[in-house]
């Protein structure tokens, strides 16, 4: 059994809206919604990896805040590799508007999160966000 893939995700919030990104057709899990982020390299902290990934994907510089949730799940409907996903609250001076890895970048209300077809590793964070948890209430 191989070690889980360590991944970080960003929770951008704007009032009661949360940023969601849809995987582009040329990416694995195409069409699934997720929080932007990516893999943690061997020499990186989770915060450094998240800042790097968001610069690369969304062309924004962020401040990484507190951890919302960290959980290990299986990708691809339970048949894929184990993903150890840690989602952090982030803030940026400007809102992301486009992504190198996604074909849609949208702000949705917490209630609207439920209607999107989320990648399995992101579902625990979605459930917490739908419950109304905010930055400062987690960690």
For residue range 90-105, list pLDDT tens digits in order.
999 999 999 999 999 9
Residue 81 Cα distances to 8, 77, 120, angstroms: 15, 10, 11
In angstroms, the CA 118 to CA 115 distance is 9
In sequence order, the 6+-apart residues with CB closer than 8 A to the CB of 42 are: none
Confidence at 139, pLDDT banded by 50, 70, 90: very low
Q: Which two tokens stand for residue 46?
A: 């989770």
Three-state DSSP at 104 gives strand
DSSP track, 3-61: PPEEEEEEEEEETTEEEEEEEPTTSTTTT-EE-SEEEPPTT--HHHHHHHHHHHHH---
Q: What are phi and psi of 123, to 5 degrees?
A: -60, -40
pLDDT in tens, 32-83: 999 999 999 999 999 999 999 999 999 999 999 999 999 998 776 667 789 9
Q: What is the mean pLDDT of residues 1-10?
A: 88
Higher pLDDT, 30 or 128: 128
């Amino acid at each position: 059994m191989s070690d889980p893939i360590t991944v970080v995700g960003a929770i951008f919030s704007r009032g009661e809206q949360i940023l969601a990104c849809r995987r582009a057709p040329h990416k694995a899990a195409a069409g699934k919604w997720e929080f932007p982020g990516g893999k943690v390299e061997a020499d990186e902290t989770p915060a450094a990896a998240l800042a790097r990934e968001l610069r690369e994907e969304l062309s924004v510089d962020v401040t990484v805040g507190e951890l919302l949730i960290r959980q290990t799940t299986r990708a691809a409907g339970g048949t894929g590799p184990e993903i150890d996903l840690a989602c952090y609250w982030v803030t940026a001076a400007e809102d992301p508007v486009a992504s190198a890895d996604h074909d849609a970048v949208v702000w949705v209300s917490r209630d609207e999160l439920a209607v999107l077809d989320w990648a399995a590793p992101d579902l625990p964070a979605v459930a917490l966000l739908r419950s109304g948890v905010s930055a400062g209430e987690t960690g």
